[in-house]
Amino acid sequence: MIILDTSAVKALADGHKTLNLLAGNMARTPADRLNIPALCLMQAEADDENLSRRVLAFSAVVVDGLDTMAAVSVGTMIRDGYGGPDTCHALYCALPRPEFTGMSILLTGNESAYPPGVVTVDIDSPGMLGFH
């Protein structure tokens, strides 16, 4: 599962070349999706009016909602000092889940915001799409 945190969502909306290429490629593969945690989308929209329209226009984008279990887990992470609501929701989405057995990859512009053990990829790293 590929997850975009707030910084990656903002970059996608602003036309980040690599992220736009990734979104376009994923749109051609029915099972592939870019997952955006709802609180990351909320924060990005709060910072930039109408950003959500630009991001949700990509057919490969899905929003990962904040259900009861997620709300409790994200609240616990915030209380325990793992970051703000959007960072903790992205972290929650990157954790293993019963409905997804593969490895989650968290795309971000701020890898240091996440604890060790979380697979993060900087959106500006030269090898993000396998190119060097």
Give the pLDDT confidence of 23-35 residue by residue, as tens digits. Answer: 999 989 878 899 9
Nearest to 36 by CA among 76, 49, 26: 26
Which tens digits make up the pLDDT trace of 35-56?
999 999 999 999 999 999 999 9
34 pairs with which residues across the strands? Answer: 2, 61
Q: 98 Cβ partners below 8 Å, 6+ apart?
A: none
pTM: 0.92
- What the block records as the tokens of 85 is 């609501």
Burial of 115 (0-12, 13-18, 19+ CB in 10 A): exposed
User: Taking a C-beta distance cutoff of 8 angstroms, is the pair 114, 87 a contact?
Assistant: yes
